[in-house]
Amino acid sequence: MRLRDELGLFYQDEDFAELYPDRGQTALAPWRLSMILIMQFLENLSDRQTADSVRGRIDWKYALSLELEDDGFNFTVLTDFRERFLMQSLQRGEPPQRAASLNRRKQRKTNPQQNGLSI
């Protein structure tokens, strides 16, 4: 929980405007999905484990400014968001190595053991 307490909210939906069409509304706030990916990395979790953590862990709900009753989301939402982010990076001409490393991270099977960093 130190992450939110010390840093506050450092992503805004506007930071991810290019990832989504002008019309319609995304189901989950892009800033929140970005934070979820960071938290996933810090705890070395798979997408499914990450979605379970958003649904069931009070520290994650606090860090993500979610209501305690929030039902969470399907783990495939993380894959979709990650793919949008990768496509945007490639369209901006960012190095393919960066996009490839993010993609490998997504596909790698992870150990559910925490790495010692605190959310």
CA angle 21, 22, 28 (to 5 degrees): 65
Is residue 3 within 8 Å of residue 63, measured between CB atoms?
A: yes
Assess if residue 62 is contained within a domain: yes
Rounded Cα–Cα distance for residues 34 and 81 (Å): 9
Assess if residue 11 is contained within a domain: no
Q: Which domain holds residue 83?
A: 2-6+28-107
Number of separate domains in the chain: 1
Assess if residue 19 is contained within a domain: no
Assess if residue 113 is contained within a domain: no
Assess if residue 118 is contained within a domain: no
Identify the pLDDT of residue 116.
47
Assess if residue 72 is contained within a domain: yes
Identify the pLDDT of residue 32.
87
> Whose CA is closest to 88, among 27, 15, 37, 22?
15
Assess if residue 68 is contained within a domain: yes
Assess if residue 77 is contained within a domain: yes
Answer with the residue of higher pLDDT: 97 or 64.
Answer: 64
Please report where in the chains the tokens 């399907």 appear, as a residue.
74
Count other C-beta atoms under 10 Å from residue 49's C-beta.
14
Answer with the residue of higher pLDDT: 88 or 75.
Answer: 75
